[in-house]
Each structure stands twice: as structure tokens, then as C-alpha cells.
Amino acid sequence: MRNGTFENNKRNIRLFFDENPPAHFAGIPKAQNAVTPAKAGVQNAADLHHFVDSRLRGNDVFSPSETLSFGKGGCCTDSPFLKGARGIFDMASQTAGMAAVLLCTLSLILTGCFDFESNHMVTKFKVLAVQAEPPEIAPGEGFEMEVLYADPAGNGREVSFAWFMCINALSPAAPLRPEIGLGACIPAQSPVVETAANDGHIFVADETPVDLMSLYPDGLLNQPGGVPVDAQIVYVTAVVVACAGGQLPGPARLEAEMAIVKNPANWCEGGDGFATYKVIRVTPPTNPRPNENPLFEKVQVQARTMAPLAAVNMADNTSGVFQCPRTGKCELKLSLEAHLTPESLQTYHTKSPDGFALIDEVLYVTWYTTGGEMAYDRSIAASPSSPYENKWLVKAPGDYTLWAVAHDVRGGVSWESFQIRIIEN
Amino acid sequence: MKRAMLLIGVWGAFAVMLLTGHAGAADDTDGAASLMTPPILLEYVNAEYPAQALEQNLQADVLAMLEIDAEGNVTAVDITQPAGHGFDEAATMAMQQFRFKPAMQNGEPISCLLEYRYRFVLKTETVETVTDAVNDTDSASDISNTAVAEENQGTAVLTGKVTDMDDRAIEDAIIYLSGQPGGAAESDASLELEARTRPDGGFELTAIPPGTYELTIQAPGYQIYYGGEQLISGELKEVSYRLVKETDEYEVVVRARRAPRSVTRREITAQEITKIPGTDGDALRAIQNMPGTARSAMGGGEIIVRGSSHADSGFYYDNMEAPWLYHFGGLTSVINSDLLENIDFYPGNFSVRFGRATGGVIDVKTRAPKSDRFHGYIDMDLWDTGILLEGPVSDNWSIAVSGRRSYIDAILSNIDFGDDFKMKAAPRYYDFQVIADYHPSEKNNLRLFFFGTDDKLVFLYDNTENPNFGGGDNVHLMAYQGQVAWSYRLSKKVSNQLDAGLGYWGGNNAYGKYEEKWNVMPIMLRDELQLKFSKTNELNVGVDFKAEYALIDMRVPGDYYVEGSPDFNASAHDNTVFIDGKRFALKPGMYAEYKNTMVPKTTLIAGLRTDYFGNVDRWSADPRFAARYELFKNTTLKTGVGLFHQAPDYAQGDEDYGNPNLELMQAVHTSFGVEQKLSENVELSVEGFYKHLDNVVTASDAPMIRDGQMDIERFDSDGEGRVYGMEALLKHNPTDRFFGWVSYTLMKSERRDAKGENWRVFDYDQRHVLTAVGTLTLGRGYSVGLRFRLVSGNPYTPVNGGIYDGDSDNYVPVYGQTNSARMPMFHQLDVRFDKKWQWTRLALTTYLDIKNVYNAKNPEFPVYSSDFSQKDWVTGLPIIPSVGVKLEY
């Protein structure tokens, strides 16, 4: 069903807290720390927690090495040698790392790069985004989770979901960097398994199960700008396993397998599985700058404002139809622009050598499509008032789905989907 | 048939051996091999041809080992290859009367052993002139044939042959004849004639007016011959010239007579260094071809010795610790290879004079500047251009100045890397070295050595169309260091070597949002007193002091790379850590080593070293023992066992960042091996080893109090390691025609992060490492070399898919067991061609070094698609030809 148009898919999940804090927070023997921070990555489901922790606190979305991993040279800067080079005043490693990066880059120049499918291409079952609304909560608040997924080759097959959550905290009152498995951090209940038939089911958190604020280090809550985003914080992790055309185990078996299954995506038997997680920060109710999801103002293709997919039928969607040139091959290079509302750009506190600094949020837009080639997987704006631009080369007539997903670096997410039709002239 | 006798003295294999008891740099390197100026024969004495042999028309070569004292006298003649028939006695009697200019090291005359071949040949009826190889024209006989060809009536003909000392024809040698014809008027212009030798070495100069002429013969690779010929009218003069191979310090291997103070020392001479394919003539890269060393990925400069990390080995320049060896960690050495005397590589069980390392030791020795006249060169290749100037500045002082600057930045900055990536103003490097040698007397030698190196690399991620990709990484490393070395010989039994150094090593690096600035000022002092109580008892005692003062200012990720980490942890950056301030660490060490050779054919060495490591406030005491036993004449058994300690690196033990409670890393080395001399030039060495590592630093999440706050310790000393295997080296030592070796290492290196855990393989566990190197001299200045490597692929941690991080819009990898997968085997062939043209005082050398001749696509590490669903390999460099030109004066 490549190049086809299909419905926007999303799942709504409402999470809630248990009354009692997990006993596992009382202390974790070191022997259980099977995965060290330096061995980052996920070796089993238990490691997922570590990534959640590091991703949230690192907020290194735009580190060059990550940025490069979408382009040439990524392999070089992600090489183990550069990791060694990142050691502080380890001169031997630094110099060795430089050589590896340099020679690797030279090798790529001479041998070419890799024929990987771009991140923006959606050709198989894939989760494109996960939204928590709100993305930052106060104790006692609930939130709603929504999953954006695409299954272009699935022919409408059933998609089911398993979800569960953890509470994570870093403070003297709690174990530091608890390398606990997902199974260890389930707060209240067994995992929940849903299918698309249950669309709309909502879970509500009515009360705060534990005095989460007590987990914060002294003084951290008194920052005038709120809890710094990269400080030791308390947060909730929600994990979602999506399964298209397959069968997820029941809650009891899931709970048993959480700590031993290497990739939760493998829980989907007989279908295509996809594992993802989402972090929701927990900050005091008095936080003056709680994070909010960014919002689209409009998305334009060739300067035409597109109507969201959910709002139109293709038959009426004249703004989404583009004609190929009269002569030559039917190819179109379309300019894409996403505009976010001014309120989407917030400020927040981060650590600095002098303590904490108030900085502007970084927003970016990730693009997905069912066909054609994007110039970039992601776009950021040249200035706060500038649009988020991209180029899209469509090489054949047909119907395409286009997604634009807005992100901030604190977990805020929103998206819009569009149908685009390319016709011959 | 009329025969005449001809006696020819021939330099043998040019193997010169140091005698005991002299002072100097070579000696203080525990008998380590070094290069020096060989002895030069000043007075040659003809032996009397044995009557018995003459009657039987016998010819022979007598091979002898001459013991030459520091005054140049032959004090002993040891016939090593007798010929009988009276040849041995005649040769001995003649050689005892030889007079030499003594061998020199650091400007100081030293006693030595010289292998000398005395050749007895019967002269044929051909009339020839024989010229001794050391410009000793007085000793050459000169018999003329007065036959005159009619067409040359009134002029003379000079014809003959040019050969080496083994009577091999030298092709393309140039014979210059110049001077005033004897019969010409004074106003006549001087005559200049030139001829080149044919492949059989023959030449002919015709129509030469009678007169006395100066004669010069030049051939690549041989000493220039200066002489004279007197020609008379109508003469056909047939001569034979034998040229001596260039005996510069690069071509003479000096070996210690004493047993080395370490179990195994691998030696690479400059002659080998400069011609090994795939190294571009770089000295230190040649080490990676030695057994016991793993192949460095992507051709980088990491030196992995017997399964230990790069940081676990010690690197020295003239006894002082080196900041780093390579520009950009592997491109090329930071010290000009032409300034090196030799490199000693100790893969394990090294002497107590080396400490603070649990892996191996690389000891790089600079050479003395040339003192005969001024020399210089300019050397250009694809990467950089370098110059060297050296010569005497007074009777006692000589100096060498060298510098080099790269221009690859100009090339790479103009390459289109695509929309997302630009390389700005980099990479570039430069270095310089100044060596001044002062040798006022035989007993004293002072060397001043100053060097500097500067590397800068900037990656800029920039896209004018899309501001998405911004920022960059940049690295700027610089080091400047001054050193003083003073060797003093109080008597034949007491000598002292004092070394001092002061350095400035700095780094200013930025990786994305992280920055690190550091300046380290090391102060180093080393003094070793050598006491030789008797011929069989020797004691060396020394101090080895180091102090480091550092200023740091860093914004770095809380996570840290340690051995065993998977490749992809870019998304795992922990909380940013800010560190600034001053650091000071004292690292004094003392050692004593006793050597005993009382038991025949046996050398026993026992040493003890103690160190204090100020950065972690810990002491160590390392006893070490080594023994060698000459089982047969050409067979030596060797063994050793010892304890070795080193401190964790600064970051790991830093109180603000790492864990100041870390233990010292510890290693126990054991080895047993045999050295077998198979022929005059071929040696075989086989050695087995076992190394156990304790207190290996690993990552830790255990909590600790830091500045009153809860934090994690990041590192602990719970790791353990074991390495075992064997090394074999079959080596053909350098000769006029060939040098090469085949080395093979079979090894397993394992680690575990805590006792009780399962063993896993080390990051660079290369089970099989096979290297074959060979260079053949073809004549006429040509030579060709090959290097072939076959190496097990490196282990890596497999990635089994990815999980989408909905918070950061990225994927995180799902790892398999650490280092549980292995890359395909590495194989590569490199070829090198050299050609040298030699004029009177100028020489032009060119080379073509082709790496990866058959363009093997060797995987170096895996790379994955952004969601980790697809995998590919980053391969090593494809076929790369490299050319260089060197013009020498």
C-alpha cells in the first residue's frame, strides 16, 4: 500500500498512579546493576529505564554526533574511538580518537556512504510519535497519552497495545541511578493490553500516590524558574508496545518477562512489534513554567496551507492536489513549511557553570512521508519567527501521506497529518 | 697460467657490537640496541698468502670478530669462520695490525666488536687496480698494462669494473674524471669526462689526454669514492674499484653484548623503519608490525600490546615520558623519524627502570646530529612537508633543527562532504625538534632536546539551507617539551646517566555542548647510576621522579567511556558535570637492578621498583626477575616474571569527577621463550606469555558522597583481566639486499567487570595476527617492499534492533552480550617502491607507497540505520597510493 493514503492512527491512554510507592525504591543492591551507564543501550528491558533517565536529563537532541547520525559521517563520530576521545584529560584516548574520526571520514569520502532507508520514510509499521498531555504534571494530576503510528502495508490489520509505567526519582532520599527493570518499577498494576477496538478508553489519575516532592533534593524546588530541566528530577516513564497483526501476551506474562526480554518489540508474536517510551516530568504545582506541548499554526506545501487529514476527505482536498509539469517525467519538488504558534516557544531553566540559567526552548519538526525523498528528516527554525522548512521530492504520481511532528526538548509533542495527491498533467 | 695474489679485506655483515663498560645512551637502555658511527679502517695490512694455499690454488674467506678499543686498536681477533690451510693465521696476523678510527656514539669514542671478512683471492692475469673500500688508496696496488691500442695513440684509455665488496657488480655508478691534461698548455681548460657502469659493472673512458686526474665514483647506496689516476700516452689502463656500502648510522646495527635487562626487546632499525610498506616511512607506525601488537582500527595510532589497553603502555622519548606519539593519534609521528636513532619495544616483562605501566613500553631514542659537515633535506609527501638541517657548530657542538607542517587541511577543506557536514580549517598539524649535542670529552656527553607539536581539527556541521544542522566538534592539542640528558663516565666501572624534562601539554576541545580545557605541566627527573663491580656483577640504581601540575576547566558528560562499552551510547549522556581548578600530583619512583653472569652462559637479573602515585595516594612495590640461558651456541632460552602497577587515569581518580578511592591497577607478567639464530642473518624467536590483570577500572553506579552531595562514584576497581598466548618472529636482519620478517601472534585477552562474572573478550581481542614484511634492494637505487597482514576481526557488541524514544524523537539500541560478535577477518597488502639518485653531495629519493593494493573492503566497525533495523560496515581505507620526494644534501 505504498503511496497510499490511510487514516491517521493514534491511541489514547490515560495513566494513573498507585497509592503506594514501589518497594523497589527502598534500595537496589549494586549486584543488580547489570548495566553500567557507560554500557548505555538496551541489553534487556531493564535497561530501558536507564535510557529514559539519560535521555531526559541529557537533553542532547542536537548534539553533533546525533545530528550527524542522520547524515554522512555519523558512523565516524559515533565510533567507539570518539567515545574514548570524550574522556576528560585522557590524552592518549583523545589523540587516538581524532585519528579514527579523521580516517573514518576519509574512508567515507572515498568509499561512499550507506544505503539505509531515511528516517522520514514510512514503509512499514512504525510509531512516529508519542504525546503526553500535559507533558509535565504536578503530583495528583493525570495525563493522557496518545500514540501516532502508521502501518502503510498493513491493509488495515488490527493493532494492539501493551502499556505500563514507572516512577523514577533521583534524590538523596531515593537510590541514585536505580538500574531497575521495568518490572521493578511498575507502580500499581499489571500491564494493560488494548486493541484498536478499545479506542477512546481513558485512564485517569485522580490522586498522587506518593509525596513525590519529597524526592527532590533540598533547595531544588526553590529555583525561581522552576525545577531545572537537567537537574535531578522526578518523572514518570510510560512504555508502550505496539503490535500490528500479531498477538501480545497477557498482562501476567508480560510482567514476568519485563526484566528478561531484550526488546519489548519482540513481545508481538506473529506480527510487527514496535516498542517506545515516553517521559513525563513531575514538578511542583507552583512551577511557573510547566512545559506545554507545542502547537501547529499551519503547515504549507508550496505555500498552500494544508487542511489536516482528519478534517477533509480526499475528494474535497483540492489544496492537497499538485500537478506534475506538462513535459518530462512526473516529478515535483515541493517546499514544506511548518508554522508553530508563538506560545509554543517557552523558556526553562538549565544548568550552567554559574548555577542555573533561563534559556529559550528549542523546537523542531520531524517529517514523515509514505513516498518521495525529504531533504531533511528534521527542521528547526532559523529564528523564533521563522517557519520550519524542508524540501520534498516526489517522483511519481499517486497519493501520499505527510506527517509533521513538532517537538520541544522537554518532551512536548504534537503533530498534523495530511493527504497529498500528485497527478499527471 | 700466471697468477698473482690478491688480498682483500672485506667488511663483513657490518654488525658492530658494543663492548661492556662504556658509558652512553645506548648502554643505559639496558643494553638496548642503538645506532652509531661505525669504526673506520685507517690502516690496512696485507696478509701473506699462505704458501700451502697458493700451491693448491686455494681461495678463502676468513670471518673474524675484531675487538676494537676506544683508541681504534685491535685488541683481540676471534676467528668465527675458519678456513684452514694457513688462512686463519695469516688473516689474524694482518688484522691484529689494523688501525681504526674508533666507533662513536654521541660523539664519544667507544669500544666495539666488528665482524670482519678477510678474503683471500688469487689474482687472474687481468691487470687491475684494487682500491680499498675505505678510501685507503695508499694501500691499493696499481699495476698498469702498457698495451696501447693504435686508435688511441697519444691518449689513454681507462677501463674497468665497479663492484661492491662482495664482488657484486654495481650498475649505473657514475665515474667522473677531472683534471688538467699533463701535456696541455696551462691555459687549456680542464678536462672532465664521465661514464656510467653497465649492468656488469664495466665502464670505459677513452681518448683521455695523458695526465694526473681526480677520480670520483658515485653509486646510490655506496660511499662516494675519491681517488686519482695517472695516465700516460697510449696506455690502456684496466682497473677495478670496490665500493663500500654507505655506512651511515642508519645502516649499522649496534647490538649490546650484554644480555638485555628485559626478557624480550623488539628492535626496529631506521633502515627498516623508512622502508616498511604502508607506513610512509614513519618510525613509530612500524611498531604496529611487531608481534604482540594488535592491529589498530582504521589505521589509527593505538598501540595495543599483548591485550592491554593503549593507555596501559608507557611511551618515552629519550627516557622522558612522551605526551603522545602521533599527530591526530595515528597519522604520523610527532617526532621526525630521521632524527631517531632507534626504537625499542618491550611487549612485557620489562626492566624496573620503566614503571607506571602494566602493558608494554616503547622507548624512542633520538640520535646525535651529524658532525662531519652540514647536511639537510626537504621532504614532501601527500600529507606534509618537512625540513631538516644539521651539522657541527664548533668542535664540540653539533645541532639539528627539523620542522614539518601539514597541508591536508587545504585539501580537505575544499572537499564537498554533502549538505550536512563541513570540515573547517582542519585538520592541520605541525611539529618541530631541536637537538644540540655537546661532547667535550670521551667521558662526557650532553644533549639538549626541545620539541613541540600542535594538532587542530574542526568539524563543522553547517547547512546554509537548513539550520537544523549546526554546531561542531573541535580538538586542539599542543605539547612543548624540553629535555636535558647528561651521560658521564667516571671510570670503566662507574657511569651515570641524568635526564630531566619540563613540558607543557595542553588541550582545548569542544564536542557539541561539552568543552574541556586542560593544561598539564610535567616535571620529570631521572638519574641512573651504573656500577660494574666485576665482569659478572653489575648494579643499576636509579630514581624516576615525575610531578604534574594541571589546570582544568571542563563541561563534560557525566558518563564516561570505559573498555567494553558498546559503540552506540551517544544518546546516553548523563548529567553534565562541571569541573575546574588545579591539580597536583607527585609520582616519585626508585629502582635497583642487579645483574649476575657468574654462571656460565647464564644471565640473571633481579630488580625492585617502588612508586608513589599522588593522584590516588597509593604506593606500589614491584619485584621483577628475568633470566637468559645460552642453551647452545645459537640458542638462548629466556624467562621472566614480574609485578607491574599503574594509576588509574586522572579522570577516573579525580575527586570531583571520578573515584579517588580507586586501587592501583596491577599486572603480573610471566613469559618463557627461546631465541634461535638460524643463520648469519636469520633469527627465530618464539615466546609464550600469561598476564593477569587486577583492579581494572570499570564503570560503577554505586552511590558516594561528593562535596556533601549524593552522587555516583562512576568508577570502581572491581575489574579483572587475563591475557595468554604466544608470539613468533622469524626475522631476516637488514643486509645489502634484503630485510624482512614474519610475525605471528596467537592470543586471547579477556575481561570481566567483577569477580564472579563471566569472562568476556577484550575490545581488541585479536586472536590471530599475522604480519609479513619484506624489502628487496634491486640495484641502481631501486628497492621494492611488501607488507601483508591477516588479522582476526575485532569483537563488537551486536545491536538487536532499536526502541523509539518518544521523548527525544530518537531510537536507542538494544544491545546483545558485550563483545559477543566479531567482525570479519582483516587482510591487506601494501607495496612500496623506492628509487634513489645520488650525485656528489646531493641525493634525491622518491617513493610510491600503495596501501591496500587489492582494495580489500575490511569492516572496521558496524553502523546502523537511525532506527537500528539495518546494519552495514564502515570499511577501512580503500587503495591509496602515496608518493613522496626527498632531496638531501
- Interval B89-110 mean pLDDT: 81
B1-129+250-258 carries CATH number 3.40.50.300? no
Contact between A22 and A201 (Cβ < 8 Å): no
**C-alpha distances in Å from residue A424, one per residue of A3, A325, A328, B484, B768:** 15, 8, 10, 81, 61
| CATH of B259-365 given 3.30.300.30, 3.90.226.10, 2.60.120.260, 2.170.130.10 | 2.170.130.10
Sign of CA dihedral B551, B554, B560, B566: negative
**Residue ranges matching CATH 2.40.170.20 in chain B:** 366-888
3-state secondary structure of A272: strand
Q: How far apart are CA B337 and CA B270, in angstroms?
A: 8
Contact flag A58-B709 (C-beta cutoff 8 Å): no
Contact flag A86-B514 (C-beta cutoff 8 Å): yes
* Listed residue (B160, B116, B84, B162) closest to B9, CA to CA: B116
Contacts of B548 (CB under 8 A, 6+ apart): B520, B521, B522, B523, B583, B584, B585, B587
pLDDT exceeds cutoff 50 at A37: no
Residue B751 parent element (H or E): strand B738-752
Compute the nearest-CA separation of A315 from chain B (Å): 33
Of B516, B701, B866, the CB nearest to A70: B866
The CA angle A10-A13-A19, to the nearest 5 degrees, is 165
CA atoms within 13 A on the CB side of B387: 2
Report which listed range, A138-142, A143-147, A238-242, B92-96, is most confident: B92-96
pLDDT exceeds cutoff 50 at A277: yes
The strand ranges marked E within B180-300 are: 191-196, 202-208, 211-218, 225-231, 236-243, 253-256, 266-269
Q: How far apart are CA A44 and CA B816, in angstroms?
A: 8
- Cβ of B469 under 8 Å from any chain A Cβ? yes
Residue A286: DSSP 8-state = T
* Model ipTM value: 0.78
Q: Which of A247-256, A406-415, B154-163, B451-460 has the lowest mean pLDDT?
A: A247-256
- Cβ of A270 under 8 Å from any chain B Cβ? no
| Mean pLDDT for all residues in chain A | 65
pLDDT at B357: 94
Compute the nearest-CA separation of B813 from chain A (Å): 5
Contacts of A389 in chain B (CB under 8 A): 466
Which of B669 and B566 is assigned the larger pLDDT? B669
pLDDT at B673: 94
- Which amino acid is residue A281, in one-letter code? R
Contact flag B806-A278 (C-beta cutoff 8 Å): yes
Provide the CA B472 distance to its chain's centre, in angstroms: 37
pLDDT band at B58 (very low <50, low <70, confident <90, very high): confident
Which of A2 and B182 is assigned the larger pLDDT? B182
pLDDT exceeds cutoff 60 at B371: yes
pLDDT at A193: 60
- Cβ of A86 under 8 Å from any chain B Cβ? yes
**Residue ranges matching CATH 3.30.2420.10 in chain B:** 1-129+250-258
**C-alpha distances in Å from residue B842, one per residue of A125, B270, B368, B888:** 72, 20, 21, 6
pLDDT at A254: 66
pLDDT exceeds cutoff 90 at A67: no
Q: Would residue B289 be called left, alpha or beta, if left means φ above 0 and alpha means ψ between -120 and 50 degrees?
A: alpha
pLDDT, tens digit, for every residue of B710-750? 677 878 999 999 999 999 999 998 877 888 899 999 999 99
pLDDT, tens digit, for every residue of B504-521? 998 887 766 667 788 889
Write out residues 716-775 of B within 8 Å (CB-CB) of A.
753, 763
Q: What residue of B is the nearest CA neighbor of A30?
A: B702
Q: How far apart are CA B206 and CA A243, in angstroms?
A: 97
Q: Which of B356-360, B668-672, B872-876 has the lowest mean pLDDT?
A: B872-876
Compute the nearest-CA separation of B624 from chain A (Å): 27
Contact between B833 and B882 (Cβ < 8 Å): no
Provide the CA B318 distance to its chain's centre, in angstroms: 13
pLDDT, tens digit, for every residue of B525-534? 999 999 998 8
pLDDT band at B602 (very low <50, low <70, confident <90, very high): very high
Q: How far apart are the first and last CA of chain B?
A: 49
Residue B673: DSSP 8-state = E
Write out residues 25-84 of A within 8 Å (CB-CB) of B.
30, 33, 36-43, 47-48, 50-52, 54-81, 83-84
Residue B431, all three cell numbers = 611539529
pLDDT band at A334 (very low <50, low <70, confident <90, very high): very high
Residue extents of the structural domains in chain A: 9-58+119-282, 72-111, 296-423
Q: How far apart are CA A218 and CA B716, in angstroms?
A: 28
**C-alpha distances in Å from residue B613, one per residue of B501, B618, B648:** 19, 5, 10
Contact between B832 and B847 (Cβ < 8 Å): yes
**β-pairing, B266-269 with B211-218?**
unpaired
Residue B175 parent element (H or E): strand B174-179
Contact flag A96-B329 (C-beta cutoff 8 Å): yes
Architecture of domain A296-423: Sandwich (2.60)
- Interval A193-220 mean pLDDT: 46
Point out which residues pair with B159 in neighbouring strands.
B204, B238
Contact between B572 and A41 (Cβ < 8 Å): yes
pLDDT band at A353 (very low <50, low <70, confident <90, very high): low
**Residue ranges matching CATH 2.170.130.10 in chain B:** 259-365
Q: How far apart are CA A24 and CA A35, in angstroms?
A: 17
- Which amino acid is residue B679, in one-letter code? S
Tell me the count of A-B CB pairs closer than 8 A: 400
Residue A252 parent element (H or E): helix A251-257
ω before B427 within 30° of 0 (cis)? yes
- Which amino acid is residue A226, in one-letter code? G
- Interval A311-337 mean pLDDT: 80
Residue B222: DSSP 8-state = B
**C-alpha distances in Å from residue B165, one per residue of B79, B119, B589, B734:** 20, 10, 51, 17
Contact flag A99-B562 (C-beta cutoff 8 Å): no
Contact between A34 and B701 (Cβ < 8 Å): no
DSSP string, B49-77: PPHHHHHTT--EEEEEEEEE-TTSBEEEE
Residue B489, all three cell numbers = 663516565
pLDDT at A313: 60
Radius of gyration of chain A (CA): 23
pLDDT at B13: 32
DSSP string, B520-540: EEEEEEEEEEEEEEETTEEEE
- Interval B577-591 mean pLDDT: 88
pLDDT, tens digit, for every residue of B819-858? 999 999 999 999 999 998 887 778 899 989 898 999 999 9
pLDDT band at A189 (very low <50, low <70, confident <90, very high): very low
3-state secondary structure of A144: strand
Contact between B468 and B489 (Cβ < 8 Å): no
pLDDT band at B434 (very low <50, low <70, confident <90, very high): very high
Cell 572491581, residue located? B718
pLDDT at B250: 29
* Listed residue (B819, B818, B864) closest to A44, CA to CA: B818
pLDDT at B153: 55
Topology (CATH) of B366-888: Maltoporin; Chain A (2.40.170)
Write out residues 846-875 of B within 8 Å (CB-CB) of A.
857, 860-861, 863-867, 870, 872, 874-875
- Cβ of A261 under 8 Å from any chain B Cβ? no
Contact between B781 and B846 (Cβ < 8 Å): no
- Interval A11-22 mean pLDDT: 33
pLDDT, tens digit, for every residue of B380-423? 988 889 999 999 998 889 999 999 998 877 776 666 655 555 55
Q: What residue of A is the nearest CA neighbor of B708?
A: A172
Q: How far apart are CA B541 and CA B529, in angstroms?
A: 5
Best probe of the B interface among A82, A89, A280, by most B CBs < 10 A, is: A89
| Mean pLDDT for all residues in chain B | 79
- Interval A175-186 mean pLDDT: 34
Q: What residue of A is the nearest CA neighbor of B455?
A: A95
Contact flag A119-B763 (C-beta cutoff 8 Å): no
